[in-house]
Structure 1
Amino acid sequence: MSELIELQNVSLKAADMVEEGRVHKDLYSNPEIFEEELNKVFNHTWVYVGHESEVPEAGSFKTAYIGRQPVILSRDRKMNLHVLQNRCRHRGATVCEARKGKTKAFTCPYHGWGYGLDGSLRALPKPEEYDGVFDKKEMPLESLRVETYNGLVFATFKDDIEPLEDFLGGAKKWIDLFMKQGGGYPVKVLGEHRFNFPGNWKIQLENTTDAYHFPIVHKSFVTSLDEATADIFDFLDGEGFVEDLGNGHSVMVMIPQLVDLEADLDQPIPDRFAELAQALREEGKSEDEVKKLVRAAHGTGFNLNLFPNVSCSMAFFRVLRPVSVGETEIQHVALGGEGAPEAFNRKRMRLHEHFQGPMGFGTPDDGEAWERVQKGAQAGTDGWILVNRGMNNLHESRDGNVAGAVCSETGMRGAYRQYKKMMAAAGADQTAEESK
């Protein structure tokens, strides 16, 4: 008779499930840990809620989520930005269900309480019944602290948190480089699509700086490219790198020559971009402008992961939203240039559709891989997931950060280091309402 396998008891404390080089699979499937994450991570840090171009005018708004909590990003008549809890102060109904639009006020559909774009309570039916009960000034929609960096809008429930620029730290340099892909025009959201996959949010968080999977999972994408472009995407043995930027942020540089889109503009335009160049000339652009736009049209050579919920990925934004322990919503945001030539924005949309669109080559393949990780996490009673690739082959980056080869898991370890810190934080177990 064979010997019984001795099983190990695993602590349910999430912070104990993160070690340098590995994380426990229960982080993907334990519902108690998921609920703890919503509070300790999403309610206690800066979370991306949108891009300024999505609320361009007074009265513009878009709805978003911070963890599970619905919020509204709005711009008031003075062009100030607000992030408001999407919850009427009377009986708790959401006051806005549209994804985006323009309005003069938010009105609760249940009892008709009306709120201004800044969240202030402006009107309510039968106001005399509240005489002596409360002052309208005391009952606005709850506001979150909101700050922006280079068009990216973040919000937090914590009033005493560090400034956004401090939180972004070393990532600011890479955000600035990413925003050059407007080709001399301000970056603008052109559109977006959303889908849910049956897997934990951290599976996607890992993916953005994981070059190791690219030639395997995205083989069909590579075969759809012309030979010159396919060669560019053969980057595992190149000079790229992954850099830990601190606070859970990281960058994966796949194509170093495309890090700064405003460099080397004196180089001739490659033949494969001749059609776009000609279309831009026909729109009246000078040769210098054409070169700048052509170079920017195809995106940057890096993926930037901003903990916990957004990545600036080559040419688009990817925003994740945790729905449940085994379900995550993904929002893919197509980017172009505000006021840029039609040919430029059209090309940007076609490239987005080619890889990230619902019928593109990238999204379905990634989605299947993420789903398989979630399924595999159910197997066995004790199991660790490895994030140790490249641990013994690290170097210091030009900015003084820890970096590894492009196929290393340096970025994942950085994200989990921040995750472990937040999940282990003492006194972080109060709700978002209590922390205000």
Structure 2
Amino acid sequence: MNTIIPIEQEAPDYAALVQKDRVHTSLYKDEQIFQAEMDQIYKNTWVWVAHASEIPEAGNYKTITIGTQPVIVVRDRKKQVHVLLNRCRHRAATVCEHKKGKTNSFVCPYHGWSYALDGSLRGVPSPEGYGECLDKGEFPLVSLRTEEYNGMIFATFNADIEPLEDFLGAAKKWIDLFMKQGAGYPIKVTGEHRFRFPGNWKIQLENTTDAYHFPLVHKSFLSSVDEKTEELFNFENQPGFVEDLGNGHSVMVMIPELVDLDEELMERPIQERFEDLAEALRQEGHEELQVRRIVRAVGGSGFNLNLFPNVACSMAFFRVMQPISVTETEIHHSVITMDGGPAIANQYRLRLHEHFQGPFGFGTPDDAEAWERVQHGASAGDNLWIMLNRGYPNEVATEDGLKSDVSAETGMRAAYQQWKKMMTA
């Protein structure tokens, strides 16, 4: 009789794989590393799951994954938000397959176990078959710790983790600035589009604070806008910067004059591309100060904020990363508008979003091709490094962390140092 002796694979030396100015290519393609990330990172930190506007009323829900684990984000009858594992406690079938919607309960389609909005088990078919061996109180949907900051909802498997506000730290002030895009109205996620690319999730994580690629990869976008707008997006000639905000978070300021959307509203001229919108708002009866506030907000913030590990507040939308496998990632681009704001302003925002982020836009398709090429190229050579040393010699310490010029790879170094911290904990 033959006996199969299982051989345990030795864990990689995670500390050695991340240096100050480079990371090892195996981080993009090693299946063992990917599985360890799902446990060490996605199950042990705060992960973004929704914006409050996506579940405004009792019974509203959306589904998403934390790492590779499916969850439901739902608001109960008391307006409390719950993040529940999307798994029946009976035989593990998912209890919700829709991306979003409104419901009174979640019912397993396999055997009919039903759950309330807070996850508690409400009923099971033919309960007499269990006799006295089923206590419904022992089998709710598993609920994760959930906290919210300025409409941003996060969840974690780690019940002992620091409070969300401590984790966000210096990133909070940038979230507050980003939310000024409501121009006095509440921020609302109006819709999203999803796509997958054949590459590791960290390739996209790097992209959000990478201004270095913009003039090359996004030539088609720059050729599609007017001269003034092209000049505005010429980040190399702007006095911008990238800053490490701690805990893996970072911000890239591309257009400093658009960091605070409420600043010098009457002093700065309206951009040429928004003059028609401004005039239409005047015709609707809006006062000049509010016209300028709305127009400024429609154009979006002049920065990208990366929140480790899975979400970016990127100029005028939320970008959410969902790891699928070591070589596949799903991206959600959620457009934000002004809830109750002028319809014409929200239409402008949607058209701007489609122009760059849309599936037929001038930006995201080019990004996605670059990400795919990175993953494909990572297969060439087994002992090579990904270089992250741009701007490293010029980094200076700040009150919040480290700062360098706008094309520096400071944000990427910040994310990988947090990766290293969590993977070696």
* SS of corresponding position for 2:392: coil
- Closer, same or farther: CA 378–11 of 1 in aligned 2, 3 Å: farther
Other-structure match for 2:127: 127
Alpha-carbon shift at residue 12 of structure 1 (Å) = 2.8
Other-structure match for 2:383: 382
Other-structure match for 1:369: 370
Other-structure match for 2:317: 316
Which amino acid in the other structure matches residue 317 of structure 1? F
Alpha-carbon shift at residue 400 of structure 1 (Å) = 4.2
Structure 2: give runs of 5+ residues left out of the alignment: 1-9
Structure 2: how far apart are the matches of 1:108 and 1:280?
49
Structure 2: how far apart are the matches of 1:390 and 1:46?
29
Other-structure match for 2:3: none
Q: Is the 8 A contact 1:11 1:17 kept in 2?
A: no
Other-structure match for 1:430: none
Structure 2: how far apart are the matches of 1:12 and 1:137?
42
- Closer, same or farther: CA 200–299 of 1 in aligned 2, 3 Å: same
Which amino acid in the other structure matches residue 59 of structure 2? G
Other-structure match for 1:250: 250
Structure 2: how far apart are the matches of 1:216 and 1:303?
19
Q: Percent identity?
A: 63
Structure 1: give runs of 5+ residues left out of the alignment: 1-9, 426-436
Q: How does 1:31-50 map to 2 (within 5 A)?
A: 31-50=31-50
Equivalences, count: 415
Structure 2: how far apart are the matches of 1:133 and 1:378?
54
Structure 1: how far apart are the matches of 2:400 and 2:361?
38
Alpha-carbon shift at residue 180 of structure 1 (Å) = 0.3
Q: How does 1:15-414 map to 2 (within 5 A)?
A: 15-267=15-267, 268-397=269-398, 399-414=399-414
Which amino acid in the other structure matches residue 371 of structure 1? E
* SS of corresponding position for 1:98: coil
Which amino acid in the other structure matches residue 210 of structure 1? D
Structure 1: how far apart are the matches of 2:11 and 2:339?
51
Q: Is the 8 A contact 2:26 2:382 kept in 1?
A: no
Which amino acid in the other structure matches residue 108 of structure 2? C
* SS of corresponding position for 1:57: coil
Alpha-carbon shift at residue 113 of structure 1 (Å) = 0.4
Structure 2: how far apart are the matches of 1:396 and 1:30?
34
The superposition leaves residues 96-117 of structure 1 with CA deviations (integer Å, 9 ceiling, x where unpaired) of 0000000000000000000000
The superposition leaves residues 166-196 of structure 1 with CA deviations (integer Å, 9 ceiling, x where unpaired) of 0000000000000001111111001000000
Alpha-carbon shift at residue 327 of structure 1 (Å) = 0.3
* SS of corresponding position for 2:394: coil
Q: Is the 8 A contact 1:199 1:326 kept in 2?
A: yes
- Closer, same or farther: CA 11–376 of 1 in aligned 2, 3 Å: farther
Structure 2: how far apart are the matches of 1:256 and 1:223?
23
TM-score normalised by length of structure 2: 0.96
Alpha-carbon shift at residue 286 of structure 1 (Å) = 1.6
Alpha-carbon shift at residue 154 of structure 1 (Å) = 0.3
The superposition leaves residues 79-109 of structure 1 with CA deviations (integer Å, 9 ceiling, x where unpaired) of 0000000000000000000000000000000
Q: Is the 8 A contact 1:14 1:27 kept in 2?
A: no
Which amino acid in the other structure matches residue 201 of structure 1? W
* SS of corresponding position for 2:236: coil
Structure 2: how far apart are the matches of 1:11 and 1:80?
41
Structure 2: how far apart are the matches of 1:211 and 1:363?
14
* SS of corresponding position for 1:210: coil
Alpha-carbon shift at residue 13 of structure 1 (Å) = 2.6
* SS of corresponding position for 1:36: helix
Structure 1: how far apart are the matches of 2:55 and 2:102?
9
Structure 2: how far apart are the matches of 1:161 and 1:293?
39
- Closer, same or farther: CA 11–22 of 1 in aligned 2, 3 Å: farther
TM-score normalised by length of structure 1: 0.94
Other-structure match for 2:7: none
Which amino acid in the other structure matches residue 302 of structure 1? F
Higher mean displacement: 10-19 or 79-88: 10-19
Structure 2: how far apart are the matches of 1:272 and 1:368?
29
- 2:416 is equivalent to residue 416 of structure 1: yes
Alpha-carbon shift at residue 396 of structure 1 (Å) = 3.2
- Closer, same or farther: CA 341–93 of 1 in aligned 2, 3 Å: same
Alpha-carbon shift at residue 415 of structure 1 (Å) = 0.3
Q: Is the 8 A contact 1:209 1:252 kept in 2?
A: yes
Structure 2: how far apart are the matches of 1:58 and 1:140?
19
The superposition leaves residues 356-414 of structure 1 with CA deviations (integer Å, 9 ceiling, x where unpaired) of 000001111000000010011100121001001111111234x4421000000111000
Q: Is the 8 A contact 1:334 1:349 kept in 2?
A: yes
* SS of corresponding position for 1:224: coil
Alpha-carbon shift at residue 131 of structure 1 (Å) = 3.0
Structure 2: how far apart are the matches of 1:256 and 1:113?
54
Q: Is the 8 A contact 1:253 1:303 kept in 2?
A: yes
The superposition leaves residues 411-435 of structure 1 with CA deviations (integer Å, 9 ceiling, x where unpaired) of 100000000000001xxxxxxxxxx
Q: Is the 8 A contact 2:21 2:413 kept in 1?
A: yes
- Closer, same or farther: CA 282–418 of 1 in aligned 2, 3 Å: same
* SS of corresponding position for 1:220: helix
Other-structure match for 2:5: none
Alpha-carbon shift at residue 279 of structure 1 (Å) = 1.8
Alpha-carbon shift at residue 11 of structure 1 (Å) = 8.1
Structure 2: how far apart are the matches of 1:112 and 1:401?
52
Structure 2: how far apart are the matches of 1:345 and 1:113?
42
Q: Is the 8 A contact 2:199 2:371 kept in 1?
A: yes
Structure 2: how far apart are the matches of 1:373 and 1:14?
21
* SS of corresponding position for 1:112: coil
